Chain A
Amino acid sequence: MKKLMVLMLGLMIGFTASAQSLPDVKVETQDGKTISVTELADGTPMIISFWSTTCKPCVMELNAINDNLYDWLDEVDMKVVAVSVDDARTVSRARAMTQGQGWDDFVCLYDKNQDFKRAMNVSLTPHTFVVDGDGNIIASHSGYTPGSEQELFEEIKALQ
């Protein structure tokens, strides 16, 4: 236990402010193709939100982002990536839900084996990341309270 604590302390002292980048793991797209997460970094800043069909606050957050998206796009260049962590049991429900909630403007990804989720250390959903155009993770938020989507927008704005 002591050794572990020393290790942890060592890690804390070693902190730098430089950003972490997107991991090289594979996910499925809306049309069933497999892509690497690193392909998301195409120069446009993004909000990456991890959600699942049984997570109510996740759906609330994505709906709130969707409601604001046109206003935001007037001010900044950005995209929204909705990553479903539903397993094989509910992935078809997740696909149906993205259409049924009108999330047409989102990039919808499916992380059936939860490789992306594990690599990003997401334990509770919703978990949202703000990522710059080069794939560097700028900010991370877990949980959702109505109105907290504004903070994501401010962080995206700061990147422009």
Chain B
Amino acid sequence: MKKFLLFIGVLFAATLATNEASAQIKVGNGQISVALESNNIYYAPDKRMVELGLDKPEDRIRGNFGSNDYLKVDYRQGRFSVGVQVDGYLPGLYGYDMYTYQQRKSTLSAFLTKYVQWEDANWGVRVGDIFDQFGNGLIFRTYEDRNLGFNNSLAGARAYYNFNNMVNVKVLAGMPRLYDVRSKNPVWGADLSLSISDMAGWYDGIISIEGSYVGRYQKGATELFPTKEEFGTTVVGVDSDIVNMVSGRANFEYKGFSFRGEYVTKLNNDKFNAALSASKGNVINIDLGYNYKRFSASATFRRQENMAAPIELVESGIGGGNTINYIPLITRQHTYSLANLNPYRGTSVHTGGEIGGQIDLYYSLRNPKVRGKYWNFHANFSMFNTLNHKSGDMDMKSRNAWIDFNFDVERQWNKSVKTTLFYSYQRWDEEINHYDSPTAHYCDSHIFVADVTYKINKKHSVRVELQYLNSNDYEGDWVAGTIEYNFAPKFSFYVSDMWNCEAMQDGQYGNGIWNPDTLEYEGNALLHYYQVGASFTHDFLRVQLSYGRNRAGYVCSGGSCRYQPAFTGANLAFTLSF
């Protein structure tokens, strides 16, 4: 901790002392760039939260401080680049999967990734940690998401060659990262795309066909997961130590219209859920897009069955980041807190698959000659159902798991006033969100938001946000508000509160204290989740400081989610890059 603070102090002092807008280090003809991101939380005791059983300090076995830090240093000279990244978990923040992985050790942990790369006009080679994806990532994707604490970069090699934009070939192989360890399971793959339009010399649109292959090996998987009888039912095992997957894609774009289709299939039995049989899998994904002037529409249809492909088969690998492919949620990820209280998290993990889609419509009404005065309209609809499947010996019929209909209207009245009105109707099956239950229990929520920004002058502005959620779920109704004051371009302050204003629902639900003797919730929590915060930005430095209560819930980013237990605490986050 001391060393860490000293290190941060030195870095800050040195950075502020230079005070150059885009300072950098020249080495020969090349240049070095450095980026540091640090996210620190001090977990403060909160009697009320502990009393209600919402905050469990005894679960924070690494104490009351957590820090996730990332230092990245790159050197670049023309087409050549080389870099390292050190991730420090000192210890890791509570609620990230890394916390669970770290529990296996008693010390703080760090992880080093590195690469060397040559990027030519038509070809490129990279050795070291690789971030890449084939097609939509449904078959293969390695990426980093610091909000979720995911990083599955492949330590190995990658090469690609592009022939006149007509043919693009890529091959790669390596060992994926699994949180703070390097998996011993090798992953390899190849990707080919053919641009028919370029071959035919047609440049008004795009026609292309693409295909990929990906394999993964886990030593002794067949012996570890044999087919067996369990409680009178047959649990199918893994049929091969190697899992092979293939993907085929077709893309078409012409005059504002676009079609992208992908079919992915897993050819061997793979085990991603301890309770489910190992199985083959597949995904169909279709994206349609259309735009005309200031109107645009996009729609996605997807059906997936048992397609999750873990780096390490369940039992040796855990966490949402234990994956070599990427099957994200495609429902809208809301930015208003109450609309995000119970996000859709997918049903595949319990039921093996899902079918559904989403549609987005955008329209901007404006006079092209008059800026600073317009209407923006946006509507979105998404719906997902489970697939017909077996739960043990029981046949489970397909049923609705999620619906979200939402729209927002944004109006810039003049140079100083802007308003946004937002509404969302969400319906979800509470049972299927937690486990594969034969009976459905639907919750309906209506969320209303009004958001006003008033620009006092060129530097000062105020933003006020009011939210109301009406729901018949176990927590009932909520109200929320935020006031934000900005001094451009350096400072911003905010105060916000989320209040669970209706604790009991027909004596059935509530967020009071559960009494096992009476089998009822007693007392009303009516808890305020308050936050105060400030941020400071100066050139390449950004510092954010906040304090408040955080509700237990799902944090989603890029279509993946992680569960964050409730806590009260102070958060200091900063980034600097040059």
Determine the chain B residues whose CB is within 8 A of the CB of A114 once the complex forms: 131, 143
Determine the chain B residues whose CB is within 8 A of the CB of A100 once the complex forms. 294-296, 362-364, 376-378
Specify which chain A residues have a CB less than 8 angstroms from the CB of B74 in the assembled complex.
Answer: 119, 121
Question: For the complex, what is the distance from the CA of A12 to the CA of B73, rounded to whole Å?
Answer: 13
Produce 1/0 per residue, A129-160, CB < 8 A to B. 00000000111111101111011000000000
Of B57-65, B325-333, B430-438, the one contacting chain A is B325-333
Tell me, in angstroms, the Cα distance from A115 to B76 when the chains sit together: 14
Q: Mark B18-39, 1 if CB is under 8 A from A, else 0.
A: 1011111111000111110100
Q: Are the CB atoms of B22 and A92 closer together than 8 Å? A: no
Q: Contact: B137 with A87, CB < 8 Å?
A: yes
Q: How far is the CA of A122 from the CA of B74 in the complex (A)?
A: 13
Name the residue on B nearest A68 (C-beta). B371
Which segment, of A19-27, A41-49, A76-84, faces chain B? A19-27
Most chain A CB within a 10 A radius of its CB, from B372, B412, B415: B372
The answer, yes or no, to whether B390 is at the interface (CB within 8 Å) is no
State the majority secondary structure of interface residues on B.
strand
The answer to whether B488 and A123 touch across the interface, beta carbons within 8 angstroms, is no
> Which of B392-400, B451-459, B496-504, B506-514 lies at the binding interface?
B451-459
Instruction: Report the bound CA distance from A142 to B490 in whole Å.
Output: 10
Question: Residues of B contacting A148 with CB < 8 Å?
Answer: 488-489, 537
Interface residues of B in 116-161 (CB under 8 A from A): 119, 121, 131-133, 135-137, 141, 143, 146
**A15-B23, A138-B22 known; A123-B458 Cβ under 8 A:** no
Q: Which residue of A lies closest to B26 (CB)?
A: A16
Q: Cα distance A66–B374 when bound, in Å?
A: 11
Considering the complex, give the chain A residue whose CB is closest to the CB of B88.
Answer: A1
Bound: A132/B413 CA distance, A: 33
A146: which of B27, B79, B453 is its contact (CB, 8 Å)? B453
> A123 contacts B575, CB within 8 Å?
yes
Q: Which residues of A contact B300 (CB under 8 A)?
A: 92
Chain B residue at minimal CB-CB distance from A86:
B558
**Within the assembled complex, what's the spacing in Å between the Cα atoms of A47 and B177?**
36
Q: Closest CB of chain B to A143's CB: distance in Å?
A: 5
Docked Cα-Cα span, A93 to B332, in Å, equals: 10
Chain B 194-237 per-residue mask, 1 if CB under 8 angstroms from chain A, else 0: 00000000000010000000000000000000000000000000
Q: Which of A124, A137, A147 contacts B542 (CB 8 A)?
A: A124
Asked whether, in the complex, the Cβ of A140 is within 8 Å of the Cβ of B32, the reply is no
Q: How far is the CA of A142 from the CA of B360 in the complex (A)?
A: 29
Which chain A positions have C-beta within 8 A of B289? 92, 95-96
In angstroms, Cα B158 to Cα A115, docked, is: 14
Chain B residues with Cβ under 8 A from A142's Cβ?
537, 540, 542, 575, 577
Instruction: Check A5–B7 contact: CB distance below 8 A.
Output: yes
Give A26's nearest chain B residue, CB to CB. Answer: B119
The interface on chain B, measured as residues whose beta carbon lies within 8 A of the other chain's beta carbons, has a size of: 103
- Contact B577–A121 (Cβ < 8 Å): yes
Q: What is the CA–CA distance of A93 and B378 in the complex, to the nearest angstrom? A: 11
User: In the complex the two chains form, is B486's CB within 8 Å of A145's CB?
Assistant: yes
A84-132 contacts to B (CB < 8 Å)? 87-90, 92-93, 95-97, 99-102, 112-115, 118-119, 121-124
Is B7 within 8 A of A66, CB to CB?
A: no
Q: Is A88's CB under 8 angstroms from B135's CB? A: yes
Docked Cα-Cα span, A24 to B77, in Å, equals 10
Shortest beta-carbon distance, A131 to chain B, in Å? 10
Contacts of B362 in A (CB 8 A): 96-97, 99-101
The answer to whether B492 touches A31 (Cβ under 8 A) is no
CB distance from A21 to the nearest CB of B (A): 8
Q: Which residue of chain A lies nearest to B6 when distances are taken between CB atoms in the complex?
A: A5
B297 within 8 A of A: yes
Q: Would you call B131 and A140 a contact (CB within 8 A)?
A: no
Whether A123 contacts B70 by the Cβ 8 Å rule is: yes
In the complex, which residues 256-275 of chain B have their Cβ closer than 8 Å to any Cβ of chain A? 258, 260
- Given known contacts A8-B11, A96-B362, is B79 in contact with A24 (CB within 8 Å)? yes
CA distance A70 to B367 in the complex (A): 13
Q: A137 to nearest B CB, angstroms? A: 5
Name the CB-closest residue of B to A148: B489
Tell me which residues across on chain A come within 8 A of B102, comparing CB atoms. Answer: none
Q: Select which of A1, A9, A70, A96 is within 8 A of B298 by beta carbon.
A: A96
Asked if B165 is at the interface (CB within 8 A of a chain A CB), the reply is: yes
> Which residues of B have CB within 8 Å of A92?
258, 260, 287, 289, 298, 300
B253 adjacent to chain A (CB < 8 Å):
yes
Known: A113-B133, A137-B22. A146 touches B455 (CB 8 A): yes
Contact with A along B69-99 (1 / 0, CB 8 A): 0101010101101000010000000000000
Assess A140 versus B577: contact at CB under 8 Å? Given A93-B298, A112-B133, A114-B131.
Answer: yes
CB-based nearest B residue for A16? B26
Q: Which of the residues A1, A4, A150 comes within 8 Å of B458, measured between beta carbons?
A: A150
Q: Which residues of A contact B391 (CB under 8 A)?
A: none
Whether B330 lies near A89 (C-beta < 8 A) is: yes
Q: A92-B298, A114-B143, A121-B35 are in contact. Are A143 and B535 (CB under 8 A)?
A: yes
Q: Which residues of A contact B78 (CB under 8 A)?
A: 24
Contact across chains for B330 and A12 when beta carbons are under 8 A apart? no
B residues less than 8 Å from A16 (CB atoms) = 23-26
Complex contact A102–B542 (CB within 8 A): no
CA distance A129 to B542 in the complex (A): 14
Among candidates B17, B32, B143, B291, residue contacting A87 with C-beta atoms closer than 8 Å: B143
Complex alpha-carbon distance, A123 and B542, angstroms: 11
A47 CB to closest chain B CB, in angstroms?
14
- 14 extra A-B contacts, CB within 8 A, seeds A5-B10, A141-B537: A8-B7, A11-B34, A92-B260, A92-B298, A96-B296, A99-B291, A99-B293, A100-B377, A122-B577, A124-B575, A140-B539, A143-B537, A145-B488, A151-B488
Q: 23 A–B contact pairs at CB < 8 A?
A: A1-B3, A4-B86, A9-B14, A14-B25, A23-B81, A32-B206, A54-B335, A67-B372, A88-B137, A88-B326, A90-B558, A95-B291, A96-B291, A97-B362, A100-B376, A114-B143, A115-B131, A123-B577, A124-B575, A143-B535, A145-B486, A146-B486, A150-B458
* Nearest 6 interchain pairs by C-beta: A100-B362, A147-B488, A148-B489, A121-B35, A12-B14, A145-B486
